[in-house]
Amino acid sequence: MTSAQRKDDHVRLAMEQNRAHSGHNQFDEVSFVHHALAGIDRPDVALATSFGGIQWQAPLYINAMTGGSAKTGDINRDLATAAAETGVAIASGSMSAYLKDPSCADTFRVLRTYNPDGFVMANINATASVDGARRAIDLLRADALQIHINTAQETPMPEGDRSFSSWAAQIERIVAGVEVPVIVKEVGNGLSRQTVLLLRELGVRVADLAGRGGTDFARIENGRREPADYAFLHDWGQSTAACLLDARGTGLPVLASGGVRHPLDVARSLALGARAVGVSGGFLRTLMDDGLSALVTQLSTWLDQLAALQTMLGARTPTDLARCDVLIHGTLREFCADRGID
């Protein structure tokens, strides 16, 4: 199995999973208290956000996905075009393939070529060398570096990593060795409060909680096994809503991603303390099923509808949503009780 084939498999299996998903997740257990006179005027609403020394026009981004094969290079070109047209930030997929074999550089470089003035993040894993991290940043002229941590993906992955103990120290070395802000992210299993606190100690600038509820990589990797005998790892980890509640007050800015389905999930995430919200599988599905112009329309509509929600809820800025009254129901409420969260 080549790395290029693996990248194509990930896209295919993630899209099958996205189409089969029930549509429910723990974001459904977060609701805003409706205050009928809280509304403000649309011209007074702004979408800009800033966190950890980073400034974005909008609190929405296309999160890490792909690159490394001809087909995924075309996907990256289209994602970059959509990001450029709508002003949202974008991350590359893991650049390990490029670090091992620079002949696939163009499949990642398109993220910058087609989005020359946008905010671009380079994505690597926690075993990359400091030199590798710098090469990934240089190729994209990246504004930030994402390091993904994904033990529940590697474990069922037939060719996956089985040594995890060096990851924290390597993250610390990379943070000290690069010039751009470092964001550490999960891939859909969530970051616990304990992990977020450790990341802060390591000098990481921002944590992307990337929780359960959307793309499930343990399930994808199990689907690539023969036999598929790791089904017990499906749905591993904490939901994005649970991670947001768990990570409150750690002092590290957090981003929310994983299972974000529509602008209301974006508003819920911001209300629970996220500084911005990322989507992967859902945006890729729009691109694959309906094409580039549909993705551009979707991104613009989400931004417009987020501003509409802020107007109705009386939040001039995305950060103001964190002052709105929200109710936590059901299993998410039980999670809060178990974790001692008020």
Could you tell me which residues are annotated as the binding site for Mg(2+)? 154
Binding annotation for substrate: 6-7, 153
What three-state secondary structure class fits 261? coil
Residue ranges in 143-172 that form contacts with ligand FNR under rule CB under 6 A: 148
CA distance 223 to 15: 13
Question: Any contact of residue 93 with ligand FNR (CB under 6 A)?
Answer: yes
Nearer to ligand FNR, 263 or 282 (CB): 282
Task: Judge contact between 78 and 293, C-beta under 8 A.
Answer: no
Told to check if 261 binds ligand FNR by CB under 6 A, we report no
Q: How many angstroms from the chain centroid is the CA of residue 232? A: 24
Using rule CB under 6 A, residue 69 touches ligand FNR: no
Residue 38 or 292 having the CB closest to ligand FNR: 292
- The one among 77, 134, 135, 185 contacting ligand FNR by CB under 6 A: 185
In the complex, the smallest distance separating the C-beta of residue 177 from ligand FNR, rounded to whole angstroms, is 20
- Site map 1..20 versus ligand FNR, x via CB under 6 A: ---------xx--x------
The CA–CA distances, whole Å, from 184 to 88, 291, 296, 298, 326 equal 19, 30, 27, 27, 27
CB of 279 to ligand FNR, least distance (A): 5
Nearer to ligand FNR, 281 or 311 (CB): 281
First to last CA, the chain: 48
Binding segment for ligand FNR (CB under 6 A), chosen from 39-47, 193-201, 208-216, 313-321, is: 208-216
Task: Return d(Cα 57, Cα 276) in angstroms, integer.
Answer: 10
CA geometry: angle at 130 spanning 129 and 135, to 5°?
A: 95
- Angle at CA 151, nearest 5°, toward 88 and 239? 55
E-strand stretches of the chain: 30-32, 49-51, 54-56, 60-62, 89-94, 120-125, 144-148, 182-185, 206-208, 254-257, 277-279, 326-328
Q: Which two tokens stand for residue 21?
A: 């998903």
Question: Binding string, 125-144, against ligand FNR, x = CB under 6 A?
Answer: --------------------
Instruction: Rule CB under 6 A: say whether 259 interacts with ligand FNR.
Output: yes
CA-to-CA distance for 206 and 221, rounded, in angstroms? 27
Please enumerate, by residue number, every residue annotated as part of a binding site: 6-7, 64-66, 94, 123, 153-154, 185, 215, 259-261, 280-281
Alpha helices, H only, 272-328: 281-290, 292-313
d(CA 160, CA 139): 25
Q: How many residues does the chain have?
A: 342
Task: Give the interface segment with ligand FNR, choosing from 107-115, 172-180, 253-261, 321-329 (CB under 6 A).
Answer: 253-261
Residue 68 binds ligand FNR, judged by CB under 6 A? no
Total interface residues for ligand FNR by CB under 6 A:
26
Radius of gyration of the chain (CA): 19
Nearest distance, CB of residue 175 and ligand FNR, angstroms: 17
Instruction: Say whether residue 204 binds ligand FNR (CB under 6 A).
Output: no
Minimum CB–partner distance for residue 148 and ligand FNR (Å): 3
Interaction residues for ligand FNR, span 296-335 (CB under 6 A): none
Q: Which of 132, 156, 181, 214 binds ligand FNR (CB under 6 A)?
A: 214
Interface residue list for ligand FNR (CB under 6 A): 10-11, 14, 63-66, 93-94, 123, 148, 185, 187-188, 210, 214-215, 257-260, 279-282, 284
